[in-house]
Amino acid sequence: MTAETLTLGKAINTGLRKAMENDPKVLVMGEDVGKLGGVFRITDGLQKDFGEERVIDTPLAESGIVGTAIGLALRGYRPVVEIQFDGFVFPAADQIITQLAKMRMRSLGALELPVVIRIPCGGGIGAVEHHSESPEAYFTHTAGLRVVACSNPADAFTMIQQSIASPDPVVFFEPKRRYWDKADVDVDSSDWTAFDAARVVRPGDHATVLAYGPSVKTCLEAAAAAAEDGRSLEVIDLRSLNPLDMDAVAASVDRTGRCVVVHEAPVFNGYGAELAARVTERCFYRLEAPVLRVGGFSTPYPPSRLEDHYLPDLDRILDAVDRTFAW
Q: Which position among 130, 131, 141, 263 bears the catalytic label?
A: 131
- What 8-state DSSP symbol labels residue 194? P
Q: Which amino acid is at 308?
A: D
The verdict on whether 130 is a catalytic residue reads no
Under 8 Å between Cβ of 202 and 31? no
DSSP result, 76-113: T-EEEEE-SSGGGSGGGHIIIIIIITTHHHHTTT----
The dihedral through the CA atoms of 193, 199, 204, 205 has a sign that is: negative
| CA nearest to 150, candidates 251, 64, 239, 36 | 239
Distance between CA atoms of residues 33 and 42, nearest Å: 8
Backbone angles phi, psi at 146, to 5 degrees: -85, 140
Burial class (CB in 10 A: 0-12, 13-18, 19+), 6: buried
- Backbone torsion region of residue 321, taken as left when φ is above 0, otherwise alpha when ψ lies between -120 and 50, otherwise beta: alpha
- ω before 243 within 30° of 0 (cis)? yes
Distance between CA atoms of residues 312 and 215, nearest Å: 8
C-alpha 192: how far from chain center: 17
Contacts (Cβ under 8 Å, ≥6 apart) of 224:
none
The set of catalytic residues is 131
